[in-house]
Amino acid sequence: MTTCQSYKEGCCGCCVNMRWHPQRVQAFVAQNTQVFKELVPGTSRPGFRALVRIHWRRGGWRDHLLAGVLAPLTLGLSAWIWMRYHGSCCFAGILDDSGRVGCLIHPARVGMPDLRRHAFPLIPVLGCNRQLLCPMLDQNPADHGSGWITTSRRGFQSLHPGKKMLAWDE
């Protein structure tokens, strides 16, 4: 079975908000990678404590505020707004020196057991959809050769058919 981890350029279309401007996406992924490198030495497998610290440093406090206070008060509207404009995973990062992107805690990278269940630590209602299968895998599972931003946007669009991307993508 082909997975997004097999793309030459990588993909983060399901874990980073692809509605953002490309520079914002690149900066977000670079900052995630930097924090991950600071808190997880070398190639070691991160522990739960490191995952929580990464999550917190990359804005996890907003997730806790949303889940504990705003979502109940706004009957879920704030959760929809968060997912639409801000929702991105702090474990999406640059995987290697070639600039390939993907999940920094994917089992193909750090082994089993699967750490992605901790994508949003301490919040039981949020998490990584590990069962998600990107429709783009069936369309053209090989190298897209157009860079990770373009590949990720294609992945996002394959997950959300009919949704219009923003002006800088036209």
pLDDT band at 170 (very low <50, low <70, confident <90, very high): very low
* 92-94 and 101-103 strand pairing: antiparallel
Sketch the domain layout of the chain as residue ranges.
Answer: 21-131, 133-170
136: three-class secondary structure by DSSP = helix
Question: Which phi and psi angles does 132 have, rounded to 5°?
Answer: -65, 130
> 86-111: string of b/e by CB count within 10 Å (b at 16+)?
ebbbbbbbbbeeeeebbbbbbeebbe
pLDDT tens for each residue of 16-59: 888 888 899 999 999 999 999 999 987 788 888 898 888 888 87
Chain segment 97-149, per-residue pLDDT in tens: 888 888 888 888 888 888 887 776 655 555 676 666 777 766 655 555 678 88
Rg (CA), the chain: 16
- Token pair in block for residue 116: 């992605």
3-class DSSP assignment, residue 149:
helix
The per-residue pLDDT for 27 is: 94
Quickly list H helices, 58-126: 61-65, 71-73, 77-85, 107-110
Q: What are phi and psi of 48, to 5 degrees?
A: -60, -40
Grouping H, G, I as helix, E, B as strand and the rest as coil, residue 93 is strand
| pTM (two decimals) | 0.78
